Structure 1
Amino acid sequence: MNSEHEHQNQVGARRRASPFNRIGGLPPITVALYLALLGITVMFVVLVAAYVATRLRSGLPTGLHALPRYFSLSTIVLVLSSFVISQAPRLYAEDDLGTLARCLGATLFLGCVFAGLQVLGWRELMANGVPFQGASSNSSGQFVYLISALHVAHLLGGMLFLLTLLLRVVHANRDAVRTLVFIRNPYQRRHLTLLGTYWHFVDVLWVALFAIFLFLY
């Protein structure tokens, strides 16, 4: 009897040992995502602060170089992609995997377009006399490359997860039984929710960065 109580106490101790069970009852993967988003936010805040400090220290007037028009186009594309992926939870709830696959595919395509427009924006920066590296009177312009590139890198990470989920949806949609299993699986629902959260975060992050570039560049 004593050994049974000891075993139960050990099991209870192991359960209490997990820090994730004490954070609002959230699943570990959700907590990990929120911590990652917090870390990303802090990193970009530090980079933006360094950019602003360098920009003000340079003493150059704003509007000396035009902000690449491709950055404006890419902002529209990313906002559109955020709207598209916001339809995914509704399609999942309606068991419409075919349309859900097209929704995720369209979001993936728009993400690729955004990344391509960012590259064109970098080329436009160089054409406007803002080098990627080296001595320059407008050294703050190099932060624009860095911040934009890091944002694209984080978007690509989301696109890889999006592609994985898209392939799962396409596979499940080929068979009625697989469709039923996929729709009733809370694991898949959670992944779809986390993907949407991350994508909207990346969207809002870029809009904030673009606004800062627009007023201080």
Structure 2
Amino acid sequence: MERMPPLQVALYLALVAITVMFLMLVVAYATARIRSGVPTGLHPFPRYFSLSTIVLVISSYTIGQALRLYEHDDLASLGRCLGATLLLGCIFSGLQVLGWRELMTHGVPFRGEASSSSGQFIYLISALHVAHLLGGMVLLLALLLQVLHADRDAVRSLVFIRNPYHRRQIKLLGTYWHFVDVLWVVLFAVFLFLF
């Protein structure tokens, strides 16, 4: 039986910890929402959250192509794929900020009295999600720079393609990105149901 690489073990442990944290926050949000007694549908749901969900799902598709491109020794396309994913991650983050502004204009304050604490959970949960996405974007940028550097020279390109560590990096980054994507889709569904 093959041992799991330490980086993969660390990633899986981190994903479990992130899942538990968000699960606790969602339970706290649902409890605060129910206790507030404010009926659902009182405020319109931010359309930017819906747009950001579409953008993140598309980014999950683009990062999903990375491993295939790597295995076909196509560093130029891999660089474009990683760059597109990074750009979509930036767009998602910007749309989240616009969603927060939309929440404020619809009367869901970031800070306020205890009765609006359920609205504060939306800001907190989505901001923490963006922070986790930004962490992935930093790793994505580092990998993109490595790919662009390797693609400039045939020897560096060959060394990059034949290094199993780079394959593992791409695979782990894809796993993390898909996790963050699925996490947002679940959070979006919770917000949609309870908002």
Give the structure-2-normalised TM-score: 0.98
Which residue is equivalent to 2:194?
Answer: 216
Residue aligning to 1:76:
54
Alignment match, 1:48: 26
Determine if contact 1:82/1:200 at 8 Å carries over to the other structure: yes
Pairing 1:37-116 to 2, within 5 Å after superposition:
37-116=15-94
Q: Corresponding residue for 1:118?
A: 96
TM normalised by structure 1 equals: 0.88
Question: d(CA) in 2 for partners of 1:186 and 1:146?
Answer: 38
Distance 2:166 2:87 in 1: 22
Structure 1: runs of 5 or more not aligned:
1-21
**3-state SS of the aligned residue for 1:137?**
helix
How much does 1:97 deviate?
A: 0.1
Quick one: distance in 2 between partners of 1:155 and 1:98?
Answer: 24
Q: CA deviation at 1:60?
A: 1.2
Residue among 142, 150, 168 paired with 1:172: 150
Asked whether the equivalents of residues 60 and 138 of structure 1 are also in contact (C-alpha less than 8 Å), the reply is no
Select 1:187's aligned residue among 156, 165, 185.
165
- Equivalent position SS for 2:115: coil
Inter-partner Cα distance in structure 1 for 2:163 and 2:157: 10
Deviations 1:147-185 (A, max 9, x none): 000000000000000000000000000000001000000
Find runs of 4+ consecutive structure 1 residues off by over 4 angstroms: none
> Aligned partners of 2:75 and 2:58: how far apart in 1?
21
Deviation at 1:49, TM superposition (A): 0.2
2-structure distance, mates of 1:183, 1:139: 51
Cα distance in 2 between the residues matched to 1:66 and 1:40: 29
Compute the displacement of 1:134 (Å). 1.9
Counterpart of 1:140 in 2: which secondary structure?
helix
Cα distance in 2, alignment partners of residues 144 and 42 from structure 1: 17
- 1:174 maps to a residue whose letter is R
> Structure 1, residues 82-128: CA drift from partner, whole Å, max 9, x if none?
00110011100110000000000000000000000000000001101
Aligned-residue CA RMSD in angstroms?
1.1
Note the C-alpha offset of 1:136. 5.3
Amino acid in the other structure paired with 1:158: G
1:137 is aligned to 115
Identity of aligned residues (%): 73
**In the alignment, which of 149, 174, 177 is matched to residue 127 of structure 2?**
149
SS in 2 for 1:192: helix
Q: Could you say which structure has the greater relative contact order, defined with CA pairs below 8 angstroms and 6 or more residues apart? A: 2
The letter of the residue matching 2:112 is: G
Distance in 2 (CA, whole Å) between partners of 1:190 and 1:66 is 43
